Amino acid sequence: MAYHLLQRDQAGAAKLAHALGEALHRLRHCVRCNTFTEDEICQRCANPQRDGRLLCVVEMPADLAMIEQTHAYDGLYYVLMGRLSPLDGIGPRELRMDKLLARATDGVVEEVVLATNFTNEGEATAHMISSLLGARGVRVSRLSRGVPVGGELEHTDSGTIAQALVERRPV
Amino acid sequence: MAYHLLQRDQAGAAKLAHALGEALHRLRHCVRCNTFTEDEICQRCANPQRDGRLLCVVEMPADLAMIEQTHAYDGLYYVLMGRLSPLDGIGPRELRMDKLLARATDGVVEEVVLATNFTNEGEATAHMISSLLGARGVRVSRLSRGVPVGGELEHTDSGTIAQALVERRPV
């Protein structure tokens, strides 16, 4: 992208440089959900229509966008801006667990929905958060693991089938 | 495959024709689980090590093979040899629901695990079976739906994320 801009679209390059510089100055983290915003509290957190009793924890703003796309969730979010990753020096302190704990125990939140990825780092992050919140008496849940919608067993990996068997649900 | 065999591997074609003819003569359906077998009762159903209290219902023998690969299930199976498909004239009668109902109410089975695919036909088939078995007081469960193991929200379709939210599990 950089080569293309410098060789073929210098006006675009200048525009991008300006926009990025502006964003660097203006953007900060929402004091409630930790995502990027230009205000102190982002529009989503300030929206009284959303259900403050549900708090969904995601790794990155892109994950938040994916969940919003489903139109199946009307609670609030907390964006970690990362995941546990000891090799990169990201531990509980770097993820600002203190801020999440304060947010989840504000007296309004009744359930924390862990929506970190189902990768090793995401699972470890979910495990750490559920231990911390469980110790403080907060109700914690996790997105279900299993066969994707529309999926056929024949084209599903055996790890997922094993999980779907163990976590089978009464009908 | 047919062109290749006829042009380049006539010995192979003869062998395949013979094997298929033999299979046609010898194979029949296991009286207990309905899968292909050369005996009256297949080796899996005749194995006393397997847990007769669990009965897993799958569409095809290939699905059974996928579940066996996980090594996470030691119950028995029932193979429908198809799925509900009204456009192809496959209804409850063609799927031999009477045989499945008799098998599931043999007094040993305590739980029927529905492992049909998560396609429209598979879901409709699971719904029909759970209605029929529920009316007879049999405990029925379904493989969990959700995000696959190792999956990232950013690369998961919104239908699956919505299901994973609705079917979230307490931690």
Q: State whether the Cα torsion B20-B22-B25-B26 is positive or negative.
A: negative
Pairing relationship of beta strands A36-37 and A28-29 according to DSSP bridges: antiparallel
Chain A residues with beta carbon closer than 8 angstroms to that of B152: 117-119, 122
Residues 6+ apart with CB under 8 A from A115: A56, A57, A58, A63, A67, A143, B153, B165
* Cβ distance of A118 and B169 shorter than 8 Å: no
Residues on chain A touching B73 (C-beta within 8 angstroms): 165
For chain B, state the CA radius of gyration. 19
Q: Which residue of A has its CA nearest to B152?
A: A117
B57 touches B51 (CB < 8 A): no
User: Tens place of pLDDT for every residue, chain B, 171 residues?
Assistant: 899 999 999 999 999 999 999 999 999 999 999 999 999 999 999 999 999 999 999 999 999 999 999 999 999 999 999 999 999 999 999 999 999 999 999 999 999 999 999 999 999 999 999 999 999 999 999 999 999 999 999 999 999 999 999 999 998
Q: Which residues of A touch B146 (CB under 8 A)?
A: 143-148, 164, 167
pLDDT tens digits, A2-29: 999 999 999 999 999 999 999 999 999 9
Summarize pLDDT for B106-127 with one digit per residue, the tens: 999 999 999 999 999 999 999 9
Contact flag A150-B66 (C-beta cutoff 8 Å) = no
Q: Which residue of B has its CA nearest to A60?
A: B154
What percentage of chain A's residues is helix, strand, coil (to nearest 5)?
A: 45, 20, 35
Cα B6 → chain centroid: 34
Contacts of A151 in chain B (CB under 8 A): 117-119, 148
Best CA proximity match to B40, nearest among B32, B52, B50: B32
Interchain proximity A148–B169, CB inside 8 Å? no
Task: State how far the Cα of A13 lies from the Cα of B162, in Å rounded to an integer.
Answer: 38
B139 DSSP assignment: E
**Four-point Cα dihedral B27, B33, B34, B40, nearest 10:** 40
Chain B interface test: which of A144, A155, A158 (most B C-beta within 10 Å): A144
Are A160 and B148 in contact (CB < 8 Å)?
A: yes
